[in-house]
């Protein structure tokens, strides 16, 4: 595709429900990053993958959050038993190499609202 | 610990006036510094990176290791520069490094 694609663009759900956010990176890009951005804050690192391998998940706030990229392309960020504090913009980015010092290509993000 | 500080949440500048968006960082190794921009209704995108030493849309940024700063500058502001600007840091080629973003500065160009 032309760029990083994220779906859904908006997600509203009740507290306690599970949600799955999808990211389709630019074809051929090695690295895929997930960020969370609260209102008035910058993107906060959650986790990243090189190919299908999860390299760093130190930014995931707790064990309700998980991510996978089973075939080294599309990735899913899953939040179980959602809480109101999970409400944020979730951003995905990819870059063509496996190196974090390369520019990131961002998607439009998924705005998650937990009622 | 890695940290990026953007002291100004909002910066209002008249059209034609110089712009300086401040960014200070804390990093123990050799950092790679970036500026990302988000225009209204567009996605976050790279503006420039220090290693390229480019001028993009009239903006430049110089890495000052002594002051641990990477301020973004433009001599004459244009209305289309109004946007949200984020300074970001990563290690140089270290595969274990994550990318740290500042909280961002909203630049508002006044007519």
**111 residues of chain B, pLDDT tens digit each:** 789 999 999 999 999 999 999 999 998 888 889 999 999 989 999 999 888 778 889 999 989 989 999 999 999 999 999 999 999 998 765 555 678 999 999 999 999
B38: CB partners within 8 A, 6+ apart: B44, B45, B83, B84, B85, B86
Residue bearing tokens 């225009």: B39
CA quadruple A107, A108, A110, A113: dihedral sign: positive
Tell me which chain A residues have a C-beta less than 8 angstroms from the C-beta of B51.
101
CA distance B73 to B7: 15
Give mean pLDDT, residues A64-74.
96
pLDDT in tens, A26-56: 999 999 999 999 988 999 999 999 999 999 9
The first and second tokens of residue B49, run together, are 């990176």
- Give the H/E segment covering residue B73: strand B72-74
A27 at interface of B, judged by CB pairs closer than 8 A: no
Query: How many Å lie between the alpha carbon of A76 and the closest alpha carbon of chain B?
Result: 19
The first and second tokens of residue B4, run together, are 């990026």
A25 at interface of B, judged by CB pairs closer than 8 A: no
A107 at interface of B, judged by CB pairs closer than 8 A: yes
Query: How many Å lie between the alpha carbon of A88 and the closest alpha carbon of chain B?
Result: 14
Say what the pLDDT of residue A76 is: 98
Tell me which chain A residues have a C-beta less than 8 angstroms from the C-beta of B86.
42-43
Q: Parallel, antiparallel, or unpaired: how do β-strands B83-91 and B72-74 relate?
A: unpaired
Q: Is B79:B16 a contact under the CB 8 Å cutoff?
A: no
Q: Is B104:A38 a contact under the CB 8 Å cutoff?
A: no
Residue bearing tokens 């209002």: B12
Contact yes or no for A45 and B100 at CB 8 A: yes
Question: Taking the mean position of all CA atoms in its chain, how far away is CA A5?
Answer: 11
Beta-bridged to residue A5, according to DSSP, are A24
Give mean pLDDT, residues A14-20.
97
Say what the pLDDT of residue A102 is: 80
Q: Parallel, antiparallel, or unpaired: how do β-strands A53-56 and A65-68 relate?
A: unpaired
Say yes or no to pLDDT of A109 above 70: yes
Residue B103: cis peptide before it, omega within 30 degrees of 0: no
The first and second tokens of residue A94, run together, are 């990819």
Query: How many Å lie between the alpha carbon of A13 and the closest alpha carbon of chain B?
Result: 24
């Amino acid at each position: 595709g032309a760029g990083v694609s994220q779906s859904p663009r908006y997600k509203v759900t009740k507290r306690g429900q599970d949600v799955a956010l999808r990211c389709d990176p630019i074809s051929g890009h090695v690295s895929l990053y997930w960020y969370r951005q609260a209102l008035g804050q910058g993107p906060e690192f959650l986790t990243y993958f090189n190919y299908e391998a999860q390299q760093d998940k130190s930014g995931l706030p707790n064990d309700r959050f998980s991510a996978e990229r089973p075939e080294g392309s599309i990735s899913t960020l899953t939040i179980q038993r959602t809480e109101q504090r999970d409400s944020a913009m979730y951003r995905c980015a990819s870059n063509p190499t496996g190196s974090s010092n390369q520019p990131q290509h961002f998607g439009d993000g998924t705005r998650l609202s937990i009622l | 610990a890695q940290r990026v500080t953007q002291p100004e949440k909002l910066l209002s500048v008249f059209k034609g006036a110089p712009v300086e968006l401040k960014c200070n960082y804390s990093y123990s190794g050799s950092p790679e510094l970036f500026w990302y921009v988000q225009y209204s209704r567009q996605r976050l995108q790279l503006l420039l990176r220090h290693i390229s030493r480019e001028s993009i849309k009239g903006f430049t940024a110089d890495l000052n290791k002594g002051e641990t700063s990477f301020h973004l500058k433009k001599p004459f502001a244009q209305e289309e520069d109004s946007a949200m600007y984020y300074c970001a840091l990563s290690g140089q080629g270290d595969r274990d490094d994550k990318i740290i973003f500042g909280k961002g500065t909203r630049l508002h160009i006044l007519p």
